[in-house]
Amino acid sequence: MTSDRPSIFSFFTGSGFLDLGFETSGFNIVYVNEIFSPFMAAYCYSRAILNLPLPEYGYHHGEEADVTKLTEEVQVLRLLELVKDCRKSTDIVGFIGGPPCPDFSIGGKNRGHLGDNGKLSASYVELICRTLPDFFLFENVKGLWKTKKHRLFFEALKHQLNQAGYVLTERLINAIEYGVPQDRDRIILIGFRNQVINKNNLITEGLFPWKKSILSPKDKIFSYPWSKCEPFKEDSILPCPDSIPQELTVEYWFRKNNVLNHPNAEHCFQPRAGIKRFASVDEGDDSRKSYKRLHRWRYSPTACYGNNEVHLHPYKIRRISVAEALAIQSLPVNFVLPDNMSLTNMFKTIGNGVPYLASKALAQTILDFLATTKMISITLSRQP
């Protein structure tokens, strides 16, 4: 007897923000793959605290999680066996993953498909084409979709997936549309095998429900009279304006997640010098590459804490803490990173992750579409 819960094989898992959104939406995470062991350790730690079950086919990290090696014949056969075994207990098997993106990022290495990270996107697509899950999700930075030289590579990946029998749909999403207090654009590519959607061209007819889980379109959100800049004053009190959606602000999420009492509250880089510089940046001044100060009554810029990018607390003379960064990524209050993880790795895995509420919305969108195709299949089967 098969389960109604679709099963997920997760790649480039990081600390599991994308997985958590899928799991809490009704999917079953059965396989977890992350090459960087500290991220995998954090994934296991957070799942234990959240009391989530172990993935049936285990955690894969280090060399065995190298996606470029997974495309080798022996590894493909092994993965095919796992997918085949999984189909005994579920009707739908999906792959999800966001290959590392610095090679396509405007602020990153920009080496494109020739970079070490860029090659991982090609490897992920090859793995999909050789193992043929029923559906997949591919997440990456806007640069892969928008930058001309990278767009050619993106289109080549899509052609490869089409040739393998996938019907595709894509959208440039912004996490803020799903209730995340953050301006974060990402390209999402989703594909379904023809057999799953019965070749009814449901996607090309515009029936994929991209907008169903959107709480408010970004154009509307960005049109609100958001607070600009205020002179910085430590521990100042500033009432929230009535004319903005408070639930999309940094301060709302700091309070919602009780960040001052969160287990990761004390995990924060301590400045050895430059405290005067910390105090000189206005609240809400995020115009520069680094030393961006958040505004308490505005959403955050993209959570990106590597490459010397520093985000400052709105009304404290310090950087934001790990607890605060997790809140900006809309993680549940009981999501915790382990004490023995380095601060650098904590902030890196947070910045790399797909915001939880966006993950959850994407998962629900796929579930809704699968339900629609199932109902159409039943209707067609009953027609004379």
pTM beyond 0.75, yes or no: yes
Q: Catalogue the active-site residues.
A: 101
CA distances from 4 to 7, 26, 379 (A): 9, 9, 19
Does residue 325 have a pLDDT over 60? yes
Q: How many CB atoms lie within 10 A of CB 329?
A: 26
pLDDT tier for residue 273 given thresholds of 50, 70 and 90: low
54-69 per-position pLDDT tens digit = 999 999 999 889 999 9
Q: What pLDDT score was predicted for residue 378?
A: 38
* 299 φψ region: left (φ > 0), alpha (ψ -120 to 50), beta (else): beta
CATH architecture assignment, domain 7-218+356-382: 3-Layer(aba) Sandwich (3.40)
Give the DSSP H or E segment for 243.
none
Contact criterion met (CB below 8 Å) for 117 and 103: yes
CA distances from 162 to 20, 193, 254, 273 (A): 29, 9, 44, 54
CA distances from 163 to 76, 80, 154 (A): 19, 19, 14
pLDDT tier for residue 116 given thresholds of 50, 70 and 90: low
Does residue 106 have a pLDDT over 60? no
Contact criterion met (CB below 8 Å) for 328 and 253: yes
Pairing type for strands 135-141 and 93-97 reads parallel
Does residue 376 have a pLDDT over 50? no
The Cα–Cα gap between 86 and 150 comes to 35
125-176 per-position pLDDT tens digit = 999 999 999 999 999 988 888 888 888 999 999 999 999 999 999 999 999 9
Please report, rounded to a whole number, the percentage of residues in the chain having pLDDT higher than 70: 89
Domain ranges of the chain: 7-218+356-382
Does residue 384 have a pLDDT over 80? no
SS3 call for 30: strand
Q: What pLDDT score was predicted for residue 111?
A: 58
Q: For tokens 């308490």, what's the residue? A: 296
